[in-house]
Amino acid sequence: MSTTDNPCCHADKLHALVCGTLVESEEQSIQAHLDTCQECRQKLEQTAADPDSWVEATTFLKDDPWRSSFVGDPPDAGSPAALPIQQTLELLQPTDDPSMLGRLGGYEISGVIGSGGMGVVLKGIDCSLDRIVAVKVLSPHLASTAAARKRFEREAKAAAAVLHPNVIAIHAVSVDSPLPFLVMPYVRGATLQKRIDREGMLPLVDVLRIGLQIAEGLAAAHDQGLVHRDIKPSNILLEDGIERVTITDFGLARTVDDASITRTNIIAGTPQFMSPEQASGEPVDVRSDLFSLGSVLYTICAGRPPFRAETTFGVLRKITDHAPRPLREINPDVPVWLALLIGRLMQKTPAARYATAHHVAELLRHCVAHATTPNTPLPRELRTTWRLTRTKVAWASLSALATSLLVAAWMIQGPTDPPQRSAAPPPSPESSADNAPPTMANAPVKRFEMPTTPNFSVPYPHNLTTPPQVILPQDDFSWEISGELAPSAIAQEANQLEQQAGQPFLHGNNLPVDPAVPDAPLTNTKSNN
333 is catalytic: no
Report strand pairing: 244-247 vs 254-255: unpaired
Phi, psi of 294 (to 5 degrees): -60, -40
Per-residue burial over 477-504, b if 16 or more Cβ lie within 10 Å, else e, is bebebbeebbbbbbbbbbbeebeeeeeb
The residues with which 134 forms a beta bridge, in sequence order, are 123, 184
Cα separation, 518 vs 311, in Å, equals: 64
230, 249, 514, 519: the active-site residue: 230
- Environment class of residue 340 by beta-carbon count within 10 Å: exposed (0-12), middle (13-18) or buried (19+)? middle
Cβ atoms within 10 A of the Cβ of 366, count? Answer: 18
Identify the CA nearest to 486 among candidates 518, 471, 464, 470.
464
User: Does 136 belong to an annotated binding site?
Assistant: yes
Cα separation, 58 vs 78, in Å, equals: 5
Q: What angle do CA 394, 395, 397 make, to 5 degrees?
A: 65
Alpha-carbon distance values, 112 to 62, 125, 170, 208, 336 (Å): 14, 12, 19, 31, 43
Cα separation, 341 vs 126, in Å, equals: 43
Contacts of 478 (CB under 8 A, 6+ apart): 471, 472
- Environment class of residue 271 by beta-carbon count within 10 Å: exposed (0-12), middle (13-18) or buried (19+)? buried
Cα separation, 487 vs 475, in Å, equals: 25
- CA torsion angle for 39, 41, 47, 50 (degrees, to 10)? -110
Half-sphere exposure of 104 (CA within 13 A, CB side): 32
- Decide: 174 and 180 in contact? Cβ < 8 Å: yes
User: 68 by DSSP, 3-state: which?
Assistant: helix
Cα separation, 495 vs 487, in Å, equals: 12
Q: What is the DSSP letter of 167?
A: B
Residues constituting the chain: 529
DSSP secondary structure of 369-418: HHHHSTTSPPPGGGS--EE--HHHHHHHHHHHHHHHHHHHHHHHH--SSP
Residues designated catalytic? 230
Query: Which residues are part of a known binding site for ATP?
Result: 136
Query: Which residues are part of a known binding site?
Result: 136
